[in-house]
Amino acid sequence: MEAHLSVQSLKGSLVIGGVGILLAGHCTLEALNAIKHADIVFSVMGDELMQQWLEDLNPNTESLQYLYKTSHSRPEAYRAMVDKILAAVRQGLHVCVVFYGHPGVFVTPSHAAIKLARAEGYEALMLPGVSAEDCLTADLGVDPGRFGCQSYEAHHFVTTMPAIETRAALILWQIAVVGDASFTRFDACPEALETLSSVLQAHYPADHLVTVYAAATLPTMAPEIEVVKLADLAGVSVSQASTLYVPPLRKQGRPERAEPF
């Protein structure tokens, strides 16, 4: 398995990797290595082509995606994933679990599995991957270091209303499921963007231009970039892959920060 894990012992081990957003193109060499050499690979992909590509790399790959369908809520699905992963580690297998994007960015079961495996005395490691935010930075041409950048899960943002710095950028994830307090929805809520738009209008003017973004997942695709006024956000069609970018609010006459990095 991966070089970071000190021993190819009889004891099980866990590596959690991410394959990025773009099929095959974003997978790091260390993640590729971990996938190829694992006794078993568990995957949470949601994309058939990505799943097929993984199975070609390691035929002993099992998708855990079905747990979203057999569970009553997302938290229940996450618990079931952790149970499956840990059961294999306890059997003495070198387990690799693969998520799309970065496996530690807005992914509950990856952190939970690592924590539990370590608590039980197994070696467990997370490998970084290319996240949707990394793609957004590149595709929208925005530097999170220029004015600062805040990042929230959209439902959490709407329900907890954290203090935000409007002079810095704001990225909201999972905008399709805002308003799902029961955590039982796996598809887009039609009323989600209406709620989000009104919450954001407490901080930004109605004509502030925001971007609904979806990175390309195939080399033949282009990223989806839709720029709309905040007041018109509810009219945009979104999917599970949509992320909202809210640019910094520029105060009238306030100069842009001059120093380049």
Ligand X SMILES: C[S@@+](CC[C@H](N)C(=O)[O-])C[C@H]1O[C@@H](n2cnc3c(N)ncnc32)[C@H](O)[C@@H]1O
Rule CB under 6 A: is residue 174 a binding residue for ligand X? yes
Smallest distance from the beta carbon of 151 to ligand X, in angstroms? 10
Task: Please give the structure tokens belonging to residue 252.
Answer: 């009238």
- Give the shortest CB-119-to-ligand X separation in angstroms: 23
Q: Which residue is nearest to ligand X (CB)?
A: 101
First vs last C-alpha separation in the chain: 38
Indicate the residue among 90 and 111 with the shorter CB distance to ligand X.
111
Rounded to whole angstroms, the Cα distance separating 140 from 254 reads 23
Q: Which two tokens stand for residue 235?
A: 């009219």
78: annotated active-site residue: yes
**Is residue 131 within the footprint of ligand X (CB under 6 A)?**
yes
**Catalytic (active site) residue 74:** yes
Q: Does position 214 bind ligand X by CB under 6 A?
A: yes
DSSP string, 159-225: HH-----TTSEEEEE-GGGTT-TTS---S--TTHHHHHHHHHTTTS-TT-EEEEEE--SSTT---EE
Could you tell me the smallest distance in angstroms from the CB atom of residue 75 to ligand X? 13
Closest by CA to 45, choosing from 17, 25, 6, is 17
Q: Which among 23-31, 94-102, 183-191, 203-211 is the span making contact with ligand X, rule CB under 6 A?
A: 94-102
Least distance to ligand X from the beta carbon of 129, Å? 6
Residue 162's identity, in one-letter code, is P
The active-site residue, picked from 79, 100, 146, 152, is 100
* Residue 45 makes contact with ligand X by CB under 6 A: no
Residue 68 designated active-site: no
Task: State CA 251 to chain mean position distance.
Answer: 32
What number of chain residues touch ligand X (CB under 6 A)? 18
Of 105-113, 155-163, 181-189, 200-208, the window that binds ligand X (rule: CB under 6 A) is 105-113
- At residue 227, φ and ψ (nearest 5 deg) are -100, 125
Q: Which of 66, 78, 118, 254 is catalytic?
A: 78
What span, in angstroms and rounded, lies between the C-alpha atoms of 259 and 28? Answer: 33
Kindly tell me which of 84 and 155 has the beta carbon lying closer to ligand X.
155
Q: What is the dihedral of CA 216, 154, 117, 74, to 10 degrees?
A: -90
43 binds ligand X (CB under 6 A): no
Q: Which residues are catalytic?
A: 74, 78, 100
Binding residues (CB under 6 A) for ligand X: these are: 21, 99, 101-102, 105-107, 131-132, 173-174, 213-215, 217, 240-241, 243
